[in-house]
A = this chain, B = another copy of it.
């Protein structure tokens, strides 16, 4: 792969071999018009013969474009963030960008800032922050001037473009589904307060209950983990008036199913349980879980589009115009109810 002398070949080497100037090589590489087909072929042959690769640093230095986007994410082992990251990466590559990632271990205003600074150090052209927590979003509003930025699942933030799944709508749909089955009301196992997704799901659930004139029980707080769902499930099992539970994610729903099962409660005959996320396993829980499907790859695609738009606009107009768009850019991806066997019409318990 490398040239004879040991160092990897540069444009001048290719030029020499093809008998042209280095600039002609550059033109071929960048697809400029006005290069004679024969010359182009000769250059191509030389490139292949030497195994030449353009030096991206040199290119970036002069074009002032690194073609790198940064992604800040939190706990990629959770199904949602992992799927979103995957969608982002694919979309970025299609748009001609590389993706550099930073995963946070703790979420604080400081650590998000630090991650963004770190990515800035690498001269990324823009960042996507998968920031489902309130703290993370707040930390973004201060920085937003610096360089293009998009928040995923970011909540409402002035002047900060956001892509998110319609948590409220999804939660409303599940709750309405359960009410439609004849349940007097629906209990809710919520996610942590700081998580915007958790709050959106609480809101949708509450709205549906209010609209139906159903009593609104206090939501129980878990931490997304199956364990917390299990613990809350044990408490739910003790209250015989509960007939329907909407759990804020599938992992906790699994814990709830387990706890209710251990208590000898039959699902869905005695208690209906629904989740949120539609993880691949949900269909094979005992019983198969009614849940809400989110189109994460669409989220990834849309957030890249928003980010690339910002970058292009800035590149075209020059970075002078600071606060050109104060409009509240917010791209909401719909969620879809998936009904399975864990929910059923109300029966006596």
Contacts and interface: CB of A to CB of B under 8 A. Distances in A.
Contacts of A230: 284
Interface in A75-104: 75-77, 79, 82-83, 85-86, 89-90, 93, 98-103
A54 B121 contact: yes
* Oligomer: number of copies: 2
Nearest to A59: B57
A330 interface: no
Contact of A2 (B53, B99, B319): B319
User: Which of A90, A101, A229 has the most C-beta atoms of chain B within 10 angstroms of its own C-beta?
Assistant: A101
A26 interface: no
Interface string A168-198: 0000000000000000000000000000000
Contact of A286 (B2, B99, B258): B258
Interface in A30-86: 53-58, 60-61, 66-68, 75-77, 79, 82-83, 85-86
A225 interface: yes
A126 interface: no
A56 B123 contact: yes
Given A57-B61, A68-B122, A251-B280, A83 B89 contact: no
A122 B98 contact: yes
Given A77-B83, A89-B102, A102-B89, A257 B286 contact: yes
A99 B98 contact: no
A263 interface: no
A101 B76 CA distance: 13
Contacts of A265: none
B121 A53 contact: yes
A6 B226 contact: no
A238 B285 CA distance: 21
A247 to B, nearest CB: 12
User: Which of A93, A98, A226, A288 has the most C-beta atoms of chain B within 10 angstroms of its own C-beta?
Assistant: A98
A348 interface: no
Contact of A229 (B53, B82, B251, B284): B284
A230 to B, nearest CB: 6
Contacts of A66: 56-57
Contacts of A157: none
A223 B284 CA distance: 15
Given A76-B76, A286-B286, A320 B281 contact: no
Given A85-B76, A225-B280, A251-B281, A6 B318 contact: yes
Nearest to A233: B284
Contacts of A251: 280-281
User: Which of A76, A99, A225, A229 has the most C-beta atoms of chain B within 10 angstroms of its own C-beta?
Assistant: A76
Contacts of A99: 100-101
Given A89-B102, A226-B280, A255-B284, 15 more contacts: A1-B145, A2-B319, A53-B123, A54-B121, A57-B58, A77-B79, A77-B83, A82-B82, A86-B103, A89-B101, A90-B103, A93-B118, A98-B100, A100-B100, A258-B285
9 nearest A-B pairs in the assembled complex, by CB-CB distance: A57-B60, A226-B284, A57-B61, A56-B123, A258-B284, A57-B57, A286-B286, A82-B82, A255-B284
